[in-house]
């Protein structure tokens, strides 16, 4: 019989929030007796934008902005019902996007 695995992917603009959330998830999973692989830092996605400073002329004068999206990936191997309940009750910060897949 194949082992079940929960794959959790975290995304946030602030790396401190994502590291704090990952630590909370790892602590919760280990407390319930599950094996945790990760968190694995995935490449940071950087979106860059060039915006004209002036509405009329001066095309060469621009502002450069960027948005950095940090990502972490972790696997919880062979989770119990206790592990799933504890993860569902976990309260994470507002700036963190959590994607959970059961494999």
Question: For 5-51, what is each residue's pLDDT tens digit?
Answer: 999 999 999 999 999 999 999 999 999 988 999 899 999 999 999 99
CB 90 within 8 A of CB 31: no
CA distances from 89 to 24, 33, 73, 75, 83 (A): 12, 16, 20, 18, 10
Mean of pLDDT values over 94-98? 93
Rounded-to-integer distance, Cα 68 and Cα 4, Å:
32
Report pLDDT for 1: 38
Mean of pLDDT values over 60-81? 93
CATH superfamily, with its number, for domain 3-100? Ribosomal protein S10 (3.30.70.600)
Rounded-to-integer distance, Cα 47 and Cα 42, Å:
16
Statement: the pTM of the whole predicted model exceeds 0.85: no
Given a cut of 90, whether residue 57 has pLDDT beyond it is: no
Report pLDDT for 2: 62
């Amino acid at each position: 019989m194949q082992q079940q695995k929960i794959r959790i992917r975290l995304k946030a603009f602030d790396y401190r929030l994502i590291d704090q959330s990952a630590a909370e998830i790892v602590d919760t999973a280990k407390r319930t007796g599950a094996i945790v692989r990760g968190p694995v830092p995935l490449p940071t996605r950087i979106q860059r934008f060039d915006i004209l400073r002036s509405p009329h002329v001066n095309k060469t004068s621009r502002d450069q902005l960027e948005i950095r999206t940090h990502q972490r990936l972790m696997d919880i191997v062979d989770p119990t019902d206790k592990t799933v309940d504890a993860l569902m009750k976990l309260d994470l910060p507002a700036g963190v996007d959590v994607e959970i897949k059961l494999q």
